Chains A and B, each alone.
Chain A
Amino acid sequence: DIQMTQSPSSLSASVGDRVTITCRASQGIYNYLAWFQQKPGRAPKSLIYDASSLQSGVPSKFSGSGSGTDFTLTISSLQPEDFATYYCQQYNSYPFTFGQGTKLEIK
């Protein structure tokens, strides 16, 4: 199985900040990577697919980059509604696997 490792596991930031979350795959996955946002008690929400393509309706403050084994999710100008847990997920090969999550908290 491909292991996905996110860093950091938790992150404190202030409203208006720009933050970056990193996701590393244990082997190359081309650009078959997605990012999700999850708020407590809610289903995950798809933000980005194919490493850098924004899902319809997702604000452009979210951006993704990377290919192969190293990927990043950047969120600019943080707003209160952005504080949540973020997951990366590879869909290059089965079984699909997720990172352990990054909890973004308000400082």
Chain B
Amino acid sequence: QVQLVQSGAEVQKPGASVKVSCKTSGYTFTDYYIHWVRQAPGQGLEWMGWIKPKTGDTNYKQKFQGRVTMTRDTSISTGYMEMTRLTSDDTAVYYCARDSGLTYWGQGTPVTVSS
């Protein structure tokens, strides 16, 4: 069965960086885009961008350009989302999801930014 398993919770200081992983199984990794979505505490869902695992091509929401980098390692069917220059506004649960319909989701990775 399709599974997306994310790395564990992170606590970072303002100005630091965080890298979240999303290990996939149950399908051919290079056949489907990986999207990243975040949810601040008590808030709605915000799409961040995608990576095309086959080529490494990416597309980021404009507000994240220059601060977010999505990468992948096809040898271990894993996608990554790295965010730099963290602020308290980046405190959220970060999800990976497969394909444009966001059909399958990871369990979420809580990221807390606090001094």
A residues contacting B by CB (< 8 A) are 34, 36, 43-46, 49-50, 55, 87, 89, 91, 94-101
Contact = CB atoms under 8 A, between A and B. Distances in A.
B45 A44 contact: yes
B46 A43 contact: no
Given A43-B107, A95-B62, A89 B44 contact: no
Interface string B79-115: 0000000000000000100001111111110000000
Interface string B28-40: 0000000101000
A91 B95 contact: no
Nearest to A101: B44
A46 B44 CA distance: 15
Interface residues of B, number: 20
Contact of B45 (A50, A91, A98): A98
A96 B47 contact: yes
Given A43-B95, A95-B61, A95-B62, A49 B47 contact: no
28 contacts: A36-B45, A36-B102, A43-B95, A43-B106, A43-B107, A44-B45, A45-B105, A46-B101, A46-B102, A46-B103, A46-B105, A49-B101, A55-B103, A87-B45, A89-B45, A91-B100, A91-B101, A91-B102, A94-B61, A95-B47, A95-B49, A95-B61, A96-B47, A98-B44, A98-B47, A100-B44, A101-B44, A101-B45
Enumerate the 9 nearest inter-chain pairs by beta-carbon distance, A residue then B residue, closest first.
Answer: A96-B47, A43-B105, A49-B101, A95-B61, A98-B45, A91-B100, A46-B103, A101-B44, A100-B44
